[in-house]
A and B are shown apart, each in its own frame.
Chain A
Amino acid sequence: MNESSSYVRHFNWGKLGVISVPYFWFVMLALIPILIVLKISMSEMELTSVSNMVDWSNGWPTVKLNFSSYLFIGGDALYIKTYLSSIKYAFITTLLCLAIGYPFAYFMARSPKHLQPMLLMLIMLPFWTSFLLRIYAWKTLLVSNGVINNILISLHIIDTPLLMMNNSFSLIIGMVYSYLPFMILPLYANLSKLDMRYLEAAADLGTSPFKAFWLITVPLSKAGIIAGSMLVFIPAVGEYVIPELLGGPSTLMIGRVLWDEFFSNNDWPMASAVAVVMILLILVPMAILNKYQAEQAGSKS
């Protein structure tokens, strides 16, 4: 039934109010800021502020577009390398989250019904407690004189401490650790809705459990896989805190570059240009996620 369009007529005033309040809010805080970033990325830094894009000095407006920041990014191998390595780390993180999270979500969805709320809560609990403190905790575990090395040495498994900190290993551990719940939750939501009768029907028709898993469970959970992967990948590309605390100086992540351009070099146009390029990189994954979410919403109503 066409529920929503039906009695709306009686609500016209309310409709205008209900829509314009969040519209105003998001336009002010989400849309305009991004446009300003775009504008500043094409300006030049002038002492403490940025140059005006529209120049009135001749008595009429002249638009000055300055692409120097972009040219600088495109011409500098380090920037390109940093973007690529951000994507690489985000990609590895996504794959590992999927590899760990998918079986987990699957088993969780198959566990006894009365246990599931508790299992779910145990996944959510770390998510509720401070992200920063949990990343810090990994630092205490991984450093050369950290907990893991101390234990391994005292058990005489190793003689010299393993180098687990300030490299891509610690970075990826931290990222997988932080983003795993974002993978598990949509997958679990999807898998727990999967009708077991499909699998019974497959078994009844002579499919082995292993084959049934690949032929039925995985295709039916595609939506969950896409959502989970995008929810991990997109924020992981721009992650700042984890590489800063666990990555050490050698791991290149674009979030840190942006931070340094802004806070250390005070170069706003450059920081903006870095941000704009980052947005362009995550635009496609964002579109995929939006499409998926729209489909989900559509199928439910």
Chain B
Amino acid sequence: MATAPNDEKQSAPKEVLLRVDSLSKIYDGAVKAVDDVSLTVNRGEIFGLLGGSGCGKSTLLRMLAGFETPTKGKIFLEGQDITNLPPHQRPINMMFQSYALFPHLSVWENIAFGLKRDGMPKDEIAERVDKMLSLVQLGKYPKRKPHQLSGGQQQRVALARSLAKRPKLLLLDEPLGALDKKLRETTQLELVNIIEEVGVTCVLVTHDQEEAMTMASRIAVMSEGYFLQVGFPEEVYEIPNSRQVADFIGNVNMFEGVIDEDEPDHVTVNCEDCIQYVGHGISCSPGQLVSVAIRPEKILLSQTKPDDKYNWVEGEIIEIVYFGANSTYHLKLTSGKVIKVQEINTTRELTCWRTWGAKAYAHWNDMAMIVLTQ
């Protein structure tokens, strides 16, 4: 997970680089790919657009690049309206999904491509390209053609090409989508390091929440063309604003219930399986129907009955999913509801009491859950 927004960033005056005003893209007069989206991206930020396929994140990105014309709304870069600027006139560059490296040009020529279009003097181009090559550690292969490079190397050429013109805004379209899982983790960090070194502002599109969490400083969760929630990664994960977001990001157990006590310092919710005691106040009213969401890793399993009135359930382990570092236990409650509990495998014991069919208690503390009203 990304580090918390550090103090330096917090204290530095936030300067808005990109502003998008109620942007919409409607195809054939009916299909709303992007529906009235507004957002601001600050200078130096990596802004993540996260969502499933067809949620409109790519269309939004393509409108920023200039490949799609918005049906409605405006795009401002440094306060200047660029909505109707064609792609070749925007100070924005894109790193394409599966890279779109020119197959007939060498690595060097690929990186120099954009610079040549600007009519930069030859020696300056050479200098800039060499700088870029060393930035992405490809100094050894300037003459190679894209097909002579491995997937990770191609990715770095694509990055160098899109950074060469020193764009004000860099668009990343599924930058790691074409790499295999192992390579993805190391590349992720490399990518962020390079971006931070250059200090370029980014908009990143991805369907992979882990990728969004690790790379982006802020995330917008997108569905059906609009933003469900915008926030820091930990905000979106720990304080989702709706069932949909809680469901989309990570795993979650949902308990439906009715508000009973509603006090400034705590709330209780009567659910079918237990009474939930929430250790902070929320804005709601007694009798209101709510969902209580608890992440599986915030629940503990025990063999003995917890000595508490609230926040525990009893059940039977019906499934164990072993991941190596941790395991997820599926617990079937007396009501028939199944919840997931994730525990870290701290010991090397192969046998323990947590087996199929074992009776177990699951409990959590009063700050572990979030009450969702919508």
Contact = CB atoms under 8 A, between A and B. Distances in A.
Q: Do A's and B's CB atoms come within 8 Å in the complex? A: yes
Interface of A: 1-2, 6-7, 9-10
Contacts of B27: 2
In the A-B complex, list the 9 residue pairs whose CB atoms are closest, starting with the nearest.
A10-B86, A6-B68, A7-B67, A6-B67, A9-B69, A2-B27, A7-B87, A6-B62, A1-B58
Interface in B176-228: none
B89 to A, nearest CB: 10
16 contacts: A1-B58, A1-B59, A2-B27, A6-B62, A6-B67, A6-B68, A6-B69, A7-B66, A7-B67, A7-B68, A7-B86, A7-B87, A9-B69, A10-B66, A10-B86, A10-B87
A7 B59 CA distance: 12
Given A2-B27, A10-B87, 14 more contacts: A1-B58, A1-B59, A6-B62, A6-B67, A6-B68, A6-B69, A7-B66, A7-B67, A7-B68, A7-B86, A7-B87, A9-B69, A10-B66, A10-B86
Nearest to B62: A6
A39 B268 CA distance: 90
Contacts of A1: 58-59
B55 to A, nearest CB: 13
A6 B62 CA distance: 9
Nearest to A5: B27
Nearest to B87: A7
Contacts of A2: 27
B306 to A, nearest CB: 51
Interface of B: 27, 58-59, 62, 66-69, 86-87
Contacts of A9: 69
A1 B34 CA distance: 13
A15 to B, nearest CB: 14
Nearest to A10: B86
Contacts of B62: 6
Contacts, number: 16
Contacts of B67: 6-7
A132 B12 CA distance: 82
A79 to B, nearest CB: 50
A89 B62 CA distance: 56
Contacts of A10: 66, 86-87
Nearest to A2: B27
A1 B61 CA distance: 13
Contacts of B69: 6, 9
A299 B87 CA distance: 29
B173 to A, nearest CB: 12
A6 B58 CA distance: 13
A6 B34 CA distance: 14
A9 B27 CA distance: 15
A235 to B, nearest CB: 37
A2 B56 CA distance: 12
B248 to A, nearest CB: 22
A204 B68 CA distance: 47
Contacts of B66: 7, 10
A6 B25 CA distance: 11
B158 to A, nearest CB: 19
A6 B63 CA distance: 9
A131 to B, nearest CB: 36
A172 to B, nearest CB: 47
A2 B69 CA distance: 12
A120 B290 CA distance: 67
A5 to B, nearest CB: 8
A127 to B, nearest CB: 30
Contacts of A6: 62, 67-69
Contacts of A7: 66-68, 86-87
B114 to A, nearest CB: 17
B144 to A, nearest CB: 27
A269 B352 CA distance: 98
A7 B63 CA distance: 10
A185 B154 CA distance: 36
B66 to A, nearest CB: 7
A1 B63 CA distance: 13
A9 B84 CA distance: 10
Contacts of B58: 1
Contacts of B68: 6-7
B344 to A, nearest CB: 40
A263 B66 CA distance: 60
A134 to B, nearest CB: 38
Nearest to A8: B69
Contacts of B86: 7, 10
B350 to A, nearest CB: 37
A13 to B, nearest CB: 12
B247 to A, nearest CB: 26
A226 to B, nearest CB: 30
A10 to B, nearest CB: 4
A2 B54 CA distance: 12
Nearest to A1: B58
Nearest to A9: B69
A2 B68 CA distance: 9
A7 B89 CA distance: 13
A219 B69 CA distance: 42
Nearest to B58: A1
A289 B164 CA distance: 49
Nearest to B27: A2
Contacts of B87: 7, 10
A298 to B, nearest CB: 16
A10 B67 CA distance: 9
A10 B93 CA distance: 18
